[in-house]
Amino acid sequence: MSIRFDERVAIVTGAGAGLGRAHALGLAARGARVVVNDPGVATDGTGASGSVAEKVVAEIRAAGGQAMAHSANVTDMAAVQDMVDQAIGEWGRVDILVNNAGILRDKSFSKMTLEDFRAVLDVHLMGSVHTTKALWEHFREREYGRIVFTTSSSGMFGNFGQANYGAAKTGMLGLMNVLHHEGAKYNIRVNMLSPTAATRMTEELLPPETLPLLAPDTITPGLLVLVSEDAPSKMIMGAGAGCFAEIKVHETLGISLADADLTPEGVAAAMARIRDANGQVEMPGAFDQTRKYAQMAAHRRGQGGPWKP
């Protein structure tokens, strides 16, 4: 069955170039009305030019789609709220939010200023909080919402010189996990996209021979699934060069210690068993881990059966 977005309204942040532009064009091509958000800043967040958003809007309209531009900086909650209000005023609703806006201020942690650390967190993490907060009650009232946070392998797996970026991108993981639970009964589905693409933010970091393979539009098909009617929820989708995978956080089966064994030395001696991947599982929620530990401890004392995933 074809995935379409007819009558749907989407907001895409950072949509003036790169991944955001590809996402906005992809949504519009399948019928969505799109708010193209971009203040037109440089990759480090300085300067501003609203014309980049207008150019993408012109592309969408030239292809027969509907779009409007908004230059809100996602760090400014009042500007974000104005963007949401304008979208609802124009089209009566918003159904989809793609949090894509971002900046880079890379340096090793020893050389990174706190100003640069906060600036990156403000755009990536707090910017995503602002846009989501501005739409959350709207989604709840309409009992429909599709949200995607753009994370990164720099956060999931680590990358030298990107402590601020990695922290911001991984912070979205906790936000997604909680909003998945809070939004479930309102048909709000929340996912993360972890893309690898050749954009103005990454082209200097990637080997030149890989750049033709990593075009942003090779990632957008995955994004469109994550915001579709039948989207999953609480999924981290890795994407790049037409390749797609799921990234998961697992917990090993682990061990249970007590009495004389419950010491730092006991933990250290059991480290190989603690880290053994056999039997590892993904935890559905925070208290699933609590129940697991309680059941393991009870079993150790002969008070119950073993914990089973």
Using CA atoms, how far apart are residues 162 and 154, in angstroms rounded to an integer?
Answer: 7
Q: Is the pLDDT of residue 303 over 70?
A: no
Is residue 307 over pLDDT 50?
A: no
20-25 long-range contacts, CB within 8 A, separation 24+: 20/98, 20/100, 20/101, 21/56, 21/216, 22/215, 22/216, 22/217, 22/219, 22/220, 23/98, 23/100, 23/220, 23/223, 24/56, 24/60, 24/67, 25/56, 25/59, 25/60, 25/63, 25/217, 25/220
Q: What is the mean pLDDT of the chain?
A: 92
**CA dist 29 to 14, 15, 24, Å?**
18, 15, 9
* For residue 276, pLDDT beyond 50: yes
Task: Determine the Cα–Cα distance for residues 20 and 18; give it in Å rounded to an integer.
Answer: 6
The stretch 281-298 carries a mean pLDDT of 88
Gap between the Cα atoms of 150 and 60, Å rounded: 22
pTM recorded for the entire structure: 0.92
Q: Which of 220-229, 249-258, 300-309 has the lowest mean pLDDT?
A: 300-309
Instruction: Residue 194: name the closest of 158, 232, 247, 145 by CA.
Output: 247
Token couple for 15: 């949509």
In this structure, what token pair is assigned to residue 99?
A: 């949090």
Which homologous superfamily is 9-247 in?
Answer: NAD(P)-binding Rossmann-like Domain (3.40.50.720)
Residue 144 annotated in active site: no
Predicted confidence (pLDDT) at residue 309 exceeds the cutoff of 60: no
Beta-strand runs (E) in 31-142: 33-37, 66-70, 96-99
Residue found under tokens 């609802």: 88
Q: Where in the chain is the domain with CATH 3.40.50.720?
A: 9-247
Which of 189, 284, 278 is closest to 237 using CA atoms? 189
166-219 pLDDT, tens digit each? 999 999 999 999 999 999 999 999 999 999 876 555 556 666 666 677 889 999
CA 135 to chain centre: 16
Give residue-wise pLDDT tens across range 143-174: 999 999 999 998 899 999 999 999 999 999 99
Cα 112 to Cα 105, 117, 123, distances in angstroms: 8, 7, 17
Helix (H) or strand (E) holding 80: helix 77-91
Given this model, what pLDDT does residue 295 score?
86
Cβ neighbours, 10 Å, residue 25: 23
Place of tokens 């929340």: 190
